[in-house]
């Protein structure tokens, strides 16, 4: 798991260095994230999407972390592609929450997809 966290941290650093025009704030909404995730032929926006969702997944990890009261227990075989797909599908299926903070929305989506068993 440490190697995965290192890769995510490295991706985040590269995004920070390569994408200075993107506003890095805690106020990313679901609408903004969905746009970044679904914009065709925009490598920067798509990389931002993957990095953002992967960072949320890393925080939640194996149930130790929590965001907005949501916990998730991601299996070791889950891929970044699968996790991003879950996030995009959740955003598409729940338009009423897209104006809320993206971190809470993605944490909710991952908690529903990968619930922790008591």
Question: pLDDT tens digits, the chain, 118 residues: what are they?
Answer: 555 555 555 655 555 555 544 444 456 899 999 999 999 999 999 999 999 999 999 999 876 888 889 999 999 899 999 999 999 999 999 999 999 999 999 999 999 999 988 7
Phi first, then psi, for residue 61 (nearest 5°) are: 50, -120
Q: How far is CA 88 from CA 6, 64, 106, 111, in A?
A: 24, 24, 9, 14
pTM of the prediction?
A: 0.76
- 87 exposure class (CB count in 10 Å sphere: 0-12, 13-18, 19+): buried
DSSP assignments along 70-90, one per residue: B--B--TT--HHHHHHHHHHH
Strand partners, 62: 73
Q: What are the structural domains of the chain?
A: 2-20+28-113 (1.10.890.40)
Q: How many angstroms separate the first and last alpha carbons of the chain?
A: 22
């Amino acid at each position: 798991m440490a190697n995965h966290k290192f890769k995510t941290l490295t991706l985040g650093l590269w995004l920070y260095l390569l994408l200075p025009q993107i506003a890095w704030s805690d106020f990313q909404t679901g609408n903004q994230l969905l746009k970044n995730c679904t914009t065709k032929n925009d490598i920067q926006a798509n990389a931002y999407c993957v990095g953002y969702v992967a960072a949320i997944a890393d925080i939640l990890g194996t149930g130790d972390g929590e965001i907005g009261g949501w916990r998730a227990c991601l299996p070791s075989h889950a891929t970044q592609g699968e996790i991003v797909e879950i996030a995009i599908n959740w955003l598409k299926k729940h338009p009423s929450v897209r104006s809320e903070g993206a971190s809470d929305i993605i944490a909710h989506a991952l908690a529903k997809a990968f619930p922790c068993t008591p």
